[in-house]
């Protein structure tokens, strides 16, 4: 007979993402609904190592659904990468008789959870939260939709200057290894070109495309570049290269940076976080472990955590084609 889960703990780890609070709230409230105890762990795995945790009630998570960031705070813990660190973390779980851990974060956080599970046999469930959306097994990670809208609105503003001054803007959006934000925001904001790590456009084709835009009567242009794009060392070098080959362009660079991680979560992210939070707790109560909850075709689904870590989420090729067509 599997042991019945009586106490769950939840933490947020890695980069914060809008909607993480809504997920924490859903986890805590689902525990309250099923009459089990729920601990909130502060500062991710580092807080667990340092015993920085508190028993939460349904009321502990009031008034946070609309807030960006994570009220549990987050960290990228180096100590948790060590066996000694994980041992301390496990002892703290034991101290509080916690028998299940819900981890809200990205693939790095899930890797930590998976190792922890294998070493100490502690049940773990992952909830995907990262603006990069580079997680296999879900169409959307919490925070991605909000980040898309934040970045798109910023580019709309940049466009005002681009068209007022006949300029070519290179705008860098986040996505350490992935082009999901760049591709979608590029289409949504009407960018002339979109540079992403998944597709190597090449500098020659970029120049040709900009030349074509100019010849077709466009007086200003926006190129959206994913942070992880490999076209050149960085966006400034890329802009310099284009300036050198196309001196007729007045070129500017804008790096959107961490503004994309902040702000109030969109309705989509709040709803997604609520659905995934409820499901995560219910899986745990059903004695499930090593799963990630996610969304597929608007249905809440589960993926083996190892697959979620190892799998590669692929970009939507159709969007690339759409972008090529409508930027004619």
Of 111, 135, 127, residue with least CA distance to 28: 127
Q: Tokens 């979608």 label which residue?
A: 184
DSSP character for 231? S
Q: Does 270 bind ligand F6P (CB under 6 A)?
A: no
Q: Which of 126, 175, 186, 294: binder of ligand F6P (CB under 6 A)?
A: 175
Give the residues across from 225 on adjacent strands: 172, 195
Give the residues across from 10 on adjacent strands: 40, 102
Q: Which of 118, 157, 165, 176: binder of ligand F6P (CB under 6 A)?
A: 176
Give the residues across from 17 on adjacent strands: none
Give the nearest distance from C-beta 261 to ligand F6P in angstroms.
Answer: 5
Between residues 28 and 189, which has the closer beta carbon with respect to ligand F6P? 189
Q: Which of 31, 174, 224, 273: binder of ligand F6P (CB under 6 A)?
A: 174
72 close to 11: Cβ distance less than 8 angstroms: yes
248: Cα within 13 Å, side-chain hemisphere: 8
What's the sign of the alpha-carbon dihedral 128, 133, 136, 137? positive
130 Cβ contact list (under 8 Å, min separation 6):
14, 15, 17, 105, 106, 141, 142, 143, 144
Give the nearest distance from C-beta 150 to ligand F6P in angstroms.
Answer: 12
Q: Which helix (H) or strand (E) segment is 145 a member of?
A: helix 144-164
Which residue of the set 132, 134, 145, 229 is catalytic?
132
Cα–Cα distance between 210 and 203 in angstroms, integer? Answer: 11
Give the nearest distance from C-beta 42 to ligand F6P in angstroms.
Answer: 18
Give the nearest distance from C-beta 131 to ligand F6P in angstroms.
Answer: 6
Give the nearest distance from C-beta 161 to ligand F6P in angstroms.
Answer: 25
Between residues 19 and 175, which has the closer beta carbon with respect to ligand F6P? 175
Between residues 36 and 174, which has the closer beta carbon with respect to ligand F6P? 174
- The residues in 106-145 that bind ligand F6P, with binding defined as CB under 6 A, are 106, 130-132
CB atoms within 10 A of CB 97: 10
- Burial code (b: 16+ CB inside 10 Å, e: under 16) for 122-134 equals bbbbbbbbbbbbb
- The residues in 4-43 that bind ligand F6P, with binding defined as CB under 6 A, are 15
Between residues 157 and 176, which has the closer beta carbon with respect to ligand F6P? 176
45 close to 59: Cβ distance less than 8 angstroms: no
- Catalytic site residue 160? no
32 Cβ contact list (under 8 Å, min separation 6):
38, 57, 58
Contact string 202-231 vs ligand F6P (x = CB under 6 A) = -------------------------x----
Please give the size of the binding site for ligand F6P, defined by CB under 6 A. Answer: 10
Cα–Cα distance between 51 and 118 in angstroms, integer? Answer: 21
Between residues 131 and 183, which has the closer beta carbon with respect to ligand F6P? 131
- The residues in 142-171 that bind ligand F6P, with binding defined as CB under 6 A, are none
3-state SS class at 218: coil
Between residues 102 and 151, which has the closer beta carbon with respect to ligand F6P? 151
Give the nearest distance from C-beta 81 to ligand F6P in angstroms.
Answer: 15
Cα–Cα distance between 72 and 89 in angstroms, integer? Answer: 17
- The residues in 232-251 that bind ligand F6P, with binding defined as CB under 6 A, are none
Q: Which of 25, 140, 167, 261: binder of ligand F6P (CB under 6 A)?
A: 261
Interface region with ligand F6P, contact rule CB under 6 A, candidates 23-31, 85-93, 173-181, 230-238: 173-181
Give the nearest distance from C-beta 151 to ligand F6P in angstroms.
Answer: 11
Q: Which residues bind ligand F6P (CB under 6 A)?
A: 15, 106, 130-132, 174-176, 227, 261
Give the active site residues.
132
């Amino acid at each position: 007979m599997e042991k019945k889960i009586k106490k769950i703990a939840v933490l947020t780890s890695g980069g914060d993402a809008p909607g993480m609070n809504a997920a924490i709230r859903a986890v805590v409230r689902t525990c309250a609904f099923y009459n089990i105890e729920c601990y909130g762990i502060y500062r991710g795995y580092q807080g667990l190592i340092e015993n920085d945790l508190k028993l939460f009630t349904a009321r502990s998570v009031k008034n946070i659904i609309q807030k960006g960031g994570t009220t549990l705070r987050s960290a990228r813990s180096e100590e948790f990468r060590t066996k000694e660190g994980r041992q301390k973390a496990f002892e703290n779980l034991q101290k509080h008789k916690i028998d299940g851990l819900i981890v809200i974060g990205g693939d790095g956080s899930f890797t930590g959870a998976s190792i922890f599970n294998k070493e100490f046999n502690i049940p773990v469930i992952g909830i995907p939260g990262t603006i990069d959306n580079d997680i296999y097994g879900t169409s959307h990670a919490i925070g991605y939709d909000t980040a898309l809208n934040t970045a798109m609105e910023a580019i709309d503003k940049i466009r005002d200057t681009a068209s007022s001054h006949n300029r070519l803007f290179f705008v860098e959006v986040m996505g350490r290894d992935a082009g999901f934000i760049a591709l979608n925001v590029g289409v949504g904001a009407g960018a002339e070109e979109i540079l992403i790590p998944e597709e190597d456009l090449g500098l020659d084709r970029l120049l040709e495309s900009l030349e074509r835009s100019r010849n077709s009567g466009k007086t200003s242009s926006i190129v959206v570049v994913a942070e992880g794009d490999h076209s050149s060392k960085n966006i400034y070098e890329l802009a310099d290269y284009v300036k050198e080959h196309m001196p007729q362009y007045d070129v500017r660079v804008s790096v959107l940076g961490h503004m994309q991680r902040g702000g109030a979560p969109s309705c989509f992210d709040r709803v997604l976080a609520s659905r995934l939070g409820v499901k995560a707790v219910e899986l745990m109560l059903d004695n499930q472990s090593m799963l990630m909850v996610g969304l597929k075709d608007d249905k809440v689904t589960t993926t083996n955590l190892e697959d979620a870590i190892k799998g590669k989420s692929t970009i939507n090729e159709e969007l690339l084609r759409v972008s090529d067509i409508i930027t004619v």
